[in-house]
Amino acid sequence: MDATVKSLDQVLLQGLQEVLGLPDQQIALHEPEFTGNESALVQDCLDSTFVSSVGKYVDQFEGMLANYTGAKYAIAVVNGTAALHIALKLAGVQPQDEVLLPALSFVATANAAAHCDAVPHFVDSSLDTMGMDPIALSEYLGTIAELTSHGLRNRHTGRKIAAIVPMHTYGHPVDMAALMEVANLYKLAVVEDAAESLGSTYQGRHTGTFGKLGTLSFNGNKIITTGGGGAILTNDAELARHAKHLTTTAKRPHHWEFFHDEVAWNYRLPNLNAALGCAQMECLPDFLERKRELANRYQTAFSYLSGILFVAEPAQSHSNYWLNTVRLETPEMNIRDQILTAANAAGYQCRPTWTLLNKLPMFAACPRAPLPVAMQLEASLINLPSSAKLAYPPK
């Protein structure tokens, strides 16, 4: 094992050095970049004194997101988890319903289901996309579920299975055509977790716009940032209206009266954050161009090396390459961790993928499908430094 570890250490470091050079300080995994109109727009917001949930930049940011993604409506909220929580509620998820989601995902995907008092139901991933595998899902549902007059029922638990949440891992789109076929066959609502995939398309259509609703995240490590923040995407006017209503405490519009007509949440994105988002959206095409250039360099570097494979965009997809990723040809958790130790010690901030959600204590008792590919990915994926500036400086 020692010889194998040493060899793969050298392989990863050789690829990193070829693309990034020798670091004089640690190269971060993914850093935000503020080289556009961020300061001017934020200062304008401060000068206006409208820094909270009222102000022109919230509406402007929502309009920019809708125009860019092709969604008819975008509703800006405080973070991606809040966006997914409300999207699931609007999709009809009720307490004790089961929600199908990938075991290989960031914890927020399962937390959002839990915030609805629903039960996460973990399914396997595809090697090609790192996201939900439609073929494995269809075969699994054929063995454990049945359609009834009240929807899809899990034969083993008796609970309704209400929705599917595909997550576009590291910006690489899921095979949405095949997944939508499964969803339609089993009459399941689709809520896309597109938190990592702003700028990614599948068959020419932006991620987050295939299901009834989709969600985005603008955390500090995402391709654009509002500091914190997220958004709900939908083409349904009533869902958009209700999403905005639920995320602003369900207050009926009135000049002075405080009247709220349902239990709701204070999830509205502040104007100050939205101002930052507007400036970042102006820079998004340049970010995407430079991140694709960086991905091309990584792909070229690792194409000449053995034992480690670069994860390229899936078929019919155009990825934002949010986090460049490599995969060990032979999955082994201990070897993966020793390679990560070597890379970080050499000045390259690399990280593993997430611990599978079914292994976390709060979700350990949740139902799950067989997860052979997710386990393989968990033991083999490594994220590489991916900031846009690593390709070349902004224009």
Does residue 21 form part of some domain? yes
Does residue 241 form part of some domain? yes
Q: What is the pLDDT of residues 336-387, one digit of tens each?
A: 999 999 999 999 999 999 999 999 999 999 999 999 999 999 999 999 999 9
Domain stops at, among 280, 295, 322:
280
Count the Cβ atoms, other than its own, within 10 Å of residue 253.
8
Q: Examine the domain organization and report whether 54 and 193 are in the same domain.
A: yes
Domain stops at, among 258, 280, 302:
280
363 close to 357: Cβ distance less than 8 angstroms: yes
User: What is the percent of the chain where pLDDT is above 90?
Assistant: 95
Does residue 305 form part of some domain? yes
CA distance 140 to 153: 13
Q: Examine the domain organization and report whether 123 and 157 are in the same domain.
A: yes
Does residue 196 form part of some domain? yes
User: For the whole model, what pTM was predicted?
Assistant: 0.96
Does residue 226 form part of some domain? yes
Q: Examine the domain organization and report whether 92 and 167 are in the same domain.
A: yes
Q: Is the pLDDT of residue 1 over 50?
A: no
Domain stops at, among 280, 313, 329:
280
Domain harbouring 7, CATH code = 3.90.1150.10
In this prediction, residue 4 carries a pLDDT of 58
Q: Examine the domain organization and report whether 96 and 59 are in the same domain.
A: yes
Q: What is the pLDDT of residues 61-98, one digit of tens each?
A: 999 999 999 999 999 999 999 999 999 999 999 999 99
Q: Examine the domain organization and report whether 274 and 363 are in the same domain.
A: no
Q: What is the average pLDDT across 300-328? A: 97
Does residue 198 form part of some domain? yes
Structural domains in the chain (count): 2
Own/partner long-range contacts of 7-12 (Cβ < 8 Å, ≥24 apart): 7/307, 8/307, 8/308, 8/328, 8/335, 8/339, 9/338, 9/339, 9/342, 9/343, 11/305, 11/306, 11/307, 11/308, 12/308, 12/326, 12/339, 12/342, 12/343, 12/350, 12/382
Q: Which residues pair with 125 in a beta bridge?
A: 132
Q: Examine the domain organization and report whether 310 and 234 are in the same domain.
A: no
Does residue 395 form part of some domain? no
Q: Examine the domain organization and report whether 111 and 242 are in the same domain.
A: yes
Q: Examine the domain organization and report whether 299 and 384 are in the same domain.
A: yes
Q: Examine the domain organization and report whether 271 and 306 are in the same domain.
A: no
Does residue 352 form part of some domain? yes
Burial bucket for residue 364 (CB in 10 Å: 0-12, 13-18, 19+): exposed
Q: Examine the domain organization and report whether 49 and 10 are in the same domain.
A: no
Structural domain including 319 reads 2-34+283-390
In this prediction, residue 6 carries a pLDDT of 58
Q: What is the average pLDDT across 209-236? A: 97
